[in-house]
Chains A and B, each alone.
Chain A
């Protein structure tokens, strides 16, 4: 690769490959070909992301001038430990859920729509990767729109007609969010005349008194909070996750909000600067109650759901609350907890949504009451559900425990004992909503007339169990996750992009 000089262009290829792949994928027409092609594309992005992260860990941040136009005039792609880590997460989840998707899509979706679906998937991936990798504020908005529009498409293709209203609702709220972000970027531009993030960081710090700046921060925060589904701006999320096709739920639940949280971190810490965000504007005090309410209300509402995907979606709202709490601590362990939880939550929610997709594949139902007896009829699927659920609760030796540990340590270090108590209380609520499902699956017996249900096919089980394995592996060996998360947190606190 070095011979061809391709490795110099890896940052561009990270985004260009899926972008080019999307229309080609649509032209392939045959569903199996389109699937194979998109798996190949997604795997290629995974390899690139891996190489990029490795390079940044060894030699420091990479800067790539798109089209040869130097920053701050041209668009700069910038990879450091933080977004290298997010790129790896997004591409890994995309590849795994695509592997899972074929069987699940064939069952849920009209085959004529499948090439379209895969093309949309690749576009969505392009959007996520572009938002993550770019060092240009306006470019963020462009990719945000690419990912948003394609995710509305993905959701609306769901097997139930309610997916249409869910997608429409997400479209309306999501567009408001995107517009707010655009307004904020426009205001930044009007103040400084630049769109490059590093440049913005320098120029903005000179003019912190300006009313424009304050308004921009307000718009930005609300816009990102909508995309990240931070309480109380999470209303689009439960329906979108519930009615989307199973594999799309896996993909979006594990990546979409994570990328938005990444952007929040990037803007708060790098562009605006930690000093301004938290000391001058005390944004952590604005976010803190939102995080607390997200954890408590998200968990309590999850207890009362009778649709399994909705339960998981509300649990996501609570888990995003944990990530927000980590940010508000503005400390090394707090940020490490947030970044770790980004990764770990993707692993557990991914596995949970995959297990639920496998259940839907066999039973055709998402109602919790219909899970009766699945502990016996689908033992492997339910075991995967059980283990990733225990990870969600935070049982030691799973990833959930590791991120919660860092979060509680962060809270106690900051002498916020009550916050530690809230976090632990959240875990206890998680036990309640999760155990409700387990009891029905393992203890309630099916009536004798109920149709016979078999174990899910291997094509669904294998990706699920890879994620379940990752839940345990990264719960025991945290050198990769906690190591990189800690480096990235240091980077954010250091203030340099």
Chain B
């Protein structure tokens, strides 16, 4: 069906697919049905291309160079297991989110829907670009493009609140990336003479341990998208965006791009030995552990459902960073798996939050009591996704948390193991009461009858919630990819 193509070229095509759909969307802005067909079509083509990549196999050292803006540094794409994992995740969930968005945006009577779909597609393009970056420079380029392309989505409503949130969003993300990440990148380039992602790292032998410690810190702080406290403020602010944006971009694409960058840097720029010998490793691990606990504690106090989920994301992202910084095979496998399992869980939770908003116009946790009788499907999906985030069987989160826990044991970090356990308890405390109250609590005076969200929304919710269960029973493909990310 598809002619023989090198993996780098397929990667390029998949990056361009969402981008190519944008002019069509613009042309069809008067015909919403066709416009959304284009969006779905682009999603399908992207998914097919990524599946094609799975069968083509990964060859990390084979790169497709697009341009060379600075002597010796190129914009180039390559396919390796971790990137493939990320791209697969995005392409599957983009399709689900498009279906969801059709229901949400129409039902919620959002304005400027064409603009919404166009920037969404550009953001997806940037995220795919991040996934297939062959060097740190390319990754940085797409990282910044992702920031700027999601800005119009965050400020979609154009209200004063959205504008202020947009400032926070841009300020923190661009501030950290220009102030720290760019600096770290330039420094790496001068020390190592290359920014290519190579198995085993490029810095070994070019850097003293004390420099290594500083550089690692600069990278971890510079990736603001990983939302490490105190660089997390942009994420709760971004919640003013329409729910599909919060669901796909601010629970999956943008934040996962952040932790993905850290994983890439740890594995392919630093290498295991260098991270282990960096003096800042221990310090950063405890900063990350603090984020896990504080994020959960703040989530516990939020009454706005989307904000509660956002703080939960902050906490869960740090699980992945924790795994990356522990640099052993179990922890890295756990990190990569958690990228996927948390994505399915959290996107479902956001989908549910949006479904509740569209159907009942409720945004607060305290208003959801008894809602299970009105929206049983939605709240059931909420329950499954909560289980997955907490890490209990039979949901996918079990596996990733298991491997992360194994990782802490392998490194002898018993305190961190304890923190993971405490955090799981906190997850229970801020997530489970919501579905339980919805099903068991009373709904107050007004009698509620069955009234579910629109069909496209339910379809998307069912799909992602089913994904949470599917990945528990059939985790093989995920495990194989995740466990091979650090192998040369």
Contacts and interface: CB of A to CB of B under 8 A. Distances in A.
Contact of B69 (A420, A424, A443, A478): A478
B57 interface: no
Interface size class of chain A, counting residues whose CB lies under 8 Å from the partner chain: 20 to 34
Given A397-B141, A405-B70, A435-B167, 18 more contacts: A394-B178, A397-B145, A406-B70, A408-B186, A409-B186, A412-B183, A412-B187, A420-B183, A424-B182, A425-B179, A428-B175, A428-B178, A443-B155, A477-B67, A477-B69, A478-B69, A482-B70, A482-B71
7 contacts: A408-B182, A420-B186, A421-B179, A431-B174, A443-B155, A443-B158, A482-B70
A482 B155 CA distance: 37
B364 to A, nearest CB: 27
A396 B163 contact: no
B283 interface: no
Contacts of A431: 170-171, 174
A408 B189 CA distance: 11
Nearest to A421: B183
Nearest to B191: A412
B282 to A, nearest CB: 24
B62 interface: no
A475 interface: yes
Contacts of B171: 431
A420 B75 CA distance: 23
Contacts, number: 67
Contacts of A413: 190
Interface in B149-192: 155, 158, 163, 166-167, 170-171, 174-175, 178-179, 182-183, 186-187, 189-190
A402 interface: yes
Interface of A: 390, 394-397, 401-402, 405-406, 408-409, 412-413, 420-421, 424-425, 427-428, 431, 435, 439, 443, 475-478, 482, 486
A396 B183 contact: no
B69 A476 contact: yes
Contacts of A476: 67, 69, 75
A405 B187 CA distance: 11
B178 A424 contact: yes
Contacts of B166: 439
Query: Which 8 pairs from chain A and chain B are nearest by CB?
Result: A396-B141, A476-B67, A408-B186, A443-B163, A412-B190, A396-B144, A412-B186, A427-B178
Contacts of B69: 396-397, 401-402, 475-478
Contacts of A420: 183, 186
Given A402-B69, A402-B70, A443-B155, A428 B174 contact: yes
Interface majority SS (helix, strand, loop, mixed), chain A: helix
Contacts of B182: 408, 424
B383 interface: no
A273 to B, nearest CB: 27
Interface string B78-96: 0000000000000000000
Nearest to A405: B70
B140 interface: yes
A408 B190 CA distance: 10
A486 B70 CA distance: 11
Interface majority SS (helix, strand, loop, mixed), chain B: helix
B148 interface: yes
Nearest to B180: A424
B179 A428 contact: yes
B189 A409 contact: yes
Given A390-B148, A396-B140, A482-B71, A435 B170 contact: yes
A93 to B, nearest CB: 22
A412 B175 CA distance: 19
Nearest to A401: B69
Nearest to B182: A424
A396 B186 contact: no
A405 B188 CA distance: 13
B431 to A, nearest CB: 35
B144 A408 contact: no
A427 B182 CA distance: 12
Interface in B81-135: none
B163 to A, nearest CB: 5
B94 to A, nearest CB: 23
A478 B70 contact: yes
A98 to B, nearest CB: 30
Interface in B51-85: 67-71, 75
Contacts of B70: 402, 405-406, 478, 482
A408 B71 contact: no
A435 B141 CA distance: 20
Contacts of A477: 67, 69
Contacts of B148: 390, 395
A402 B71 CA distance: 10
A486 B72 CA distance: 13
Contacts of A421: 179, 183
B122 to A, nearest CB: 13
B218 to A, nearest CB: 11
A66 to B, nearest CB: 37
Nearest to B186: A408
B163 A409 contact: no
Nearest to B70: A405
Nearest to A431: B174
B67 A395 contact: no
- Most B C-beta atoms less than 10 A away, residue of A408, A420, A439, A486: A408
Contacts of A482: 70-71
A424 B148 CA distance: 18
A420 B186 CA distance: 10
Nearest to A398: B69
Nearest to A443: B163
Contacts of A425: 179
B427 to A, nearest CB: 36
Nearest to A397: B141
A405 B186 contact: yes
A250 to B, nearest CB: 26
A341 to B, nearest CB: 14
A379 to B, nearest CB: 11
Nearest to A445: B158
Contacts of B175: 428
B144 A486 contact: no
Contacts of B186: 405, 408-409, 412, 420
Contact of B144 (A395, A405, A409): A395
A14 B405 CA distance: 73
B15 to A, nearest CB: 14
A485 to B, nearest CB: 11
Nearest to A479: B68
Contacts of A396: 69, 140-141, 144-145
